[in-house]
């Protein structure tokens, strides 16, 4: 199911449901939404979370971090808050820019990096310029090698208004980053607030600001959450785990 489906597509999916014997979903949130929107039957669903090749995230080190920051013209002493997401309205980069104005007024060492490309680029760049924050933002575009990019982050953010189960979130976790995500979709299945990351409600105007401050003011807690996140990623969201779950599913049909 996708938020991009129009009325006709939904009608077709509802019609096809009677011949559909099984559904695979990558989050409980996706299951719930499909049942609600497509009127699918609950017993037909199998939940299998996304899995990624995570071994490469163990390669992150201080040298990689320094080299990446040089590419962005960011000092080692700066604090980088980053997002990996397409530049689309649903990802809510504009909200982060709004919050950045407040955060930067209190800490001039903050920098923001948006990894990704999309139709909102010009709009976001204009917003950054209007706020006179150009020196504090980097929009280097999309990348096919996410590990070096994440090595340059200090805090990772996923501010979306809608998520099924985000691969970016898995990557943040595998990179052992303190992370902040909105309390939507599969985010709340991967993140236990205060244990392996921080969650905030999209209607909370100060949610991201307060979460960033909590991480910056509690280094031990930030490290603990990051370690817990990495452990969970390797245990539950590896490509081997996903393959195993798919094999079990098909062998039991």
Nearest to 87 by CA among 40, 62, 123: 123
pLDDT > 90 in the chain, percent = 88
Nearest to 197 by CA among 162, 233, 234: 233
List 91's β-bridge partners, or say none: none
Model confidence pLDDT, tens digit, residues 91-131: 999 999 999 999 999 999 999 999 999 999 999 999 999 99
Residue 92 to residue 87: CA distance in whole angstroms = 8
Amino acid 37: pLDDT: 87
Model confidence at 1, pLDDT cuts 50, 70, 90, reads low
Amino acid 237: pLDDT: 96
Amino acid 3: pLDDT: 56
Model confidence pLDDT, tens digit, residues 187-204: 999 999 999 999 999 999
**Domain layout of the chain by residue ranges:** 7-47, 55-236
Q: What is the pTM of this model?
A: 0.92
The answer to whether 60 and 151 have CB atoms below 8 angstroms apart is yes
| pLDDT > 90? residue 2 | no
Model confidence at 4, pLDDT cuts 50, 70, 90, reads low
Q: Dihedral sign, CA of 103, 109, 115, 120? A: positive
| Token code pair at residue 54 | 């995570």
Model confidence at 47, pLDDT cuts 50, 70, 90, reads very high
User: Which of 38-76 are b and which e, b meaning 16 or more Cβ less than 10 Å from the residue's Cβ?
Assistant: bebeeeebebbbbbbebeebeebeeebbeebbeebebee
Residue 241 to residue 245: CA distance in whole angstroms = 6
Query: Which of 4-8, 64-68, 114-118, 157-161 is predicted least confidently?
Result: 4-8
| pLDDT > 90? residue 181 | yes
The answer to whether 194 and 225 have CB atoms below 8 angstroms apart is yes
Q: Dihedral sign, CA of 36, 37, 40, 46? A: negative
Superfamily of domain 55-236: Glycogen Phosphorylase B; (3.40.50.2000)
Model confidence pLDDT, tens digit, residues 208-240: 999 999 999 999 999 999 999 999 999 999 999
């Amino acid at each position: 199911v996708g938020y991009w489906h129009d009325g006709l597509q939904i009608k077709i999916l509802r019609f096809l449901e009677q011949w559909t014997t099984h559904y695979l979903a990558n989050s409980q949130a996706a299951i719930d939404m499909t049942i609600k929107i497509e009127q699918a039957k609950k017993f037909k669903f199998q939940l299998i979370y996304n899995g990624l090749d995570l071994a490469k995230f163990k390669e992150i080190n201080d040298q990689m971090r320094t080299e990446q920051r040089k590419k962005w013209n960011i000092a080692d002493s700066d604090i980088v808050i980053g997002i990996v997401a397409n530049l689309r309205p649903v990802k809510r980069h504009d909200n982060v820019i709004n919050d950045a104005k407040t955060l930067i007024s209190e800490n001039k060492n903050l920098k923001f990096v948006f990894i990704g490309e999309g139709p909102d680029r010009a709009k976001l760049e204009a917003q950054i310029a209007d706020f006179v924050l150009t020196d504090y933002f980097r929009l280097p575009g999309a990348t096919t090698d996410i590990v070096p990019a994440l090595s340059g982050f200090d805090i990772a953010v996923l501010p979306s208004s809608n998520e099924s189960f985000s691969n970016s979130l898995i990557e943040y976790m595998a990179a052992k980053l303190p992370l902040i995500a909105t309390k939507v979709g599969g985010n709340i299945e991967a993140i236990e607030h205060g244990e392996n990351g921080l969650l905030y409600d999209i209607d909370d105007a100060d949610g991201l600001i307060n979460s960033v401050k909590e991480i910056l003011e509690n280094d031990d807690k930030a490290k603990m959450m990051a370690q817990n996140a990495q452990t969970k990623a390797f245990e539950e969201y590896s490509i081997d785990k996903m393959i195993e779950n798919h094999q079990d599913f098909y062998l039991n049909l």
